[in-house]
Chains A and B, each alone.
Chain A
């Protein structure tokens, strides 16, 4: 069988690079893309190479970043531009193969196994060409990893933070990949890396030689998968997506929305307003996809120490009603903490999982009122219809009117889905 040729293309410091590309005065300066401090989302979302050199880190507060890097230029995010450049870059990849699998906005795997011969047969030359074209046509730099599997291809592109090209082959992977820290590999997050380190496994090479007993006991079957990855054993295909809607062609496993409130939530009506707003968006999106959920979960971040927790509950009968989701979410929060100033809440997340199609038959509850449930569903669908015609804010819940700032939010419209997930 022919050896696969897979590339992982990663657009460097994507958000910050787009900002620098659109405004040349920002080039060569320390730039950070950050949320709005007024709405308390003021954390660093991305930073340019220059800012990174000063030690600015993703997800820290703007004031922390400014301390490290006094000349830091902070710009607001521009998702429309990111989506545009993400799509334009994929359009370039599609000229080389039809197998392009996006991984978030700034990364893609492409499989050139079948088409490489059309472009001369040398993977490094093609990688060079793609990198050059993205630079010329879009003004952005990419790093490319070339390998025979997706895991090492990604490892290769992560190795070089500049616009380099790294090839990991069957001949050199022991020299290139194995000396790297295990945490560099996909699916080795902080927790896994900590467990590995505790047992003396520091590098990918160590992981590649880990024993069955340790892996099985410590990680279960994921452990064996990680060892396979470290040995370059990964047969997962580059999925073919529809180029017209490459971003959305994923199987939906859950629908969720979360928000850091503009101010701390200190009483029941505050919490209720946000929970209903979030539940409304979640349920509306669920109904749009013609889905019902059986599990509702909430995540809460406390204002005091920024610690958080999440809780979930499972229903017997699936639902897509806003009121069901909101009441369950509210119930989960109330059961876990008192709602007062002492236990102020900073952010809430509502998520619906365990999804099933709305077209699946429902098992009715012998003591429930099935007709009433259907009526409620029709009411929600009617409201959805109104909103699709006149905007999300044409029909309000009374609970949302208790707070002016919060009532002005349109969570559904501002929602952007970032698909991330390697195992499916």
Chain B
């Protein structure tokens, strides 16, 4: 689904671990081109809505390498806010 200009809602496959107290910790994201990105750190977890692409859920602020981004759990799916390159914005 296309979001606000320059952004798109992208559902992704996520590998996550569920702790014994029920907490969920996402470990890696599989991108649609087949690449897997390991999540190095979860900075914060809170309920939030995405202004950029719409929808809401549990928002994980995560670090992948040097990049900080948001991963949303929109029961029962995960999504990220994908950046759409300018030439693709119609």
> What is the size, in residues, of chain B's interface with A at 8 Å between Cβ atoms?
16
B49–A24 contact, CB under 8 A?
no
* B49 A138 Cβ-Cβ under 8 A: yes
Write out the residue numbers on chain B whose beta carbons fall within 8 Å of the beta carbon of A25. Answer: 2-4
| Interface residue range, chain A | 10 to 19
Is the CB of B48 closer than 8 A to any CB of chain A?
A: yes
At the interface, yes or no: B50 with Cβ under 8 Å from chain A?
A: yes
A24:B47 contact, CB within 8 angstroms: no
Contact B48 A22 (CB under 8 A): no
Choose among B4, B7, B51, B55 the residue that contacts A22 (Cβ–Cβ < 8 A). B55
- In the bound complex, residues from chain B placing their C-beta under 8 Å from that of A27 are 4
B37-53 with Cβ < 8 A to chain A: 46-53
Contact A137 B56 (CB under 8 A): yes
Contacts of A21 in B (CB 8 A): 49, 54-56
In the complex, A27→B5 CA distance in Å?
11
CA distance A137 to B49 in the complex (A): 5
Q: Which residues of B contact A138 (CB under 8 A)?
A: 49, 56
Interface string of A22-36 (1 = CB under 8 A from B): 111101000000000
CB contact list, A109-140 vs B, under 8 A: 136-140
Closest-CB distance, A287 to chain B (whole angstroms): 34
Interface: B1 (CB within 8 A): yes
Instruction: List chain A residues, Cβ under 8 A from B52.
Output: 24
Complex Cα spacing A25 to B53, Å: 9
Q: Which residues of A contact B4 (CB under 8 A)?
A: 24-25, 27
B residues in contact with A139, CB < 8 Å: 49-51, 54, 56
Q: Does the CB pair B3–A136 fall under 8 Å?
A: no
CB contacts (< 8 Å) of B46 on chain A: these are 137
Flag if A136 contacts B48 (CB, 8 Å): yes
Q: With A138-B56, A139-B56 given, is the CB distance from A23 to B1 under 8 Å?
A: yes
A-B contact pairs, 20 of them (CB 8 A): A21-B54, A21-B55, A22-B55, A23-B1, A24-B3, A24-B4, A24-B7, A24-B51, A24-B54, A25-B4, A136-B47, A136-B48, A136-B49, A137-B47, A137-B48, A137-B56, A138-B56, A139-B49, A139-B54, A139-B56
Q: Which 10 A-B pairs have the closest CB atoms?
A: A139-B49, A137-B47, A24-B4, A24-B54, A24-B3, A22-B54, A23-B54, A138-B49, A139-B56, A138-B56
**A contacts, CB < 8 Å to B:** 21-25, 27, 136-140
Known: A23-B1, A137-B47, A139-B51. 13 other contacts (CB 8 A): A21-B54, A21-B56, A22-B54, A22-B55, A24-B52, A24-B53, A24-B54, A25-B2, A25-B3, A25-B4, A136-B48, A139-B54, A140-B49
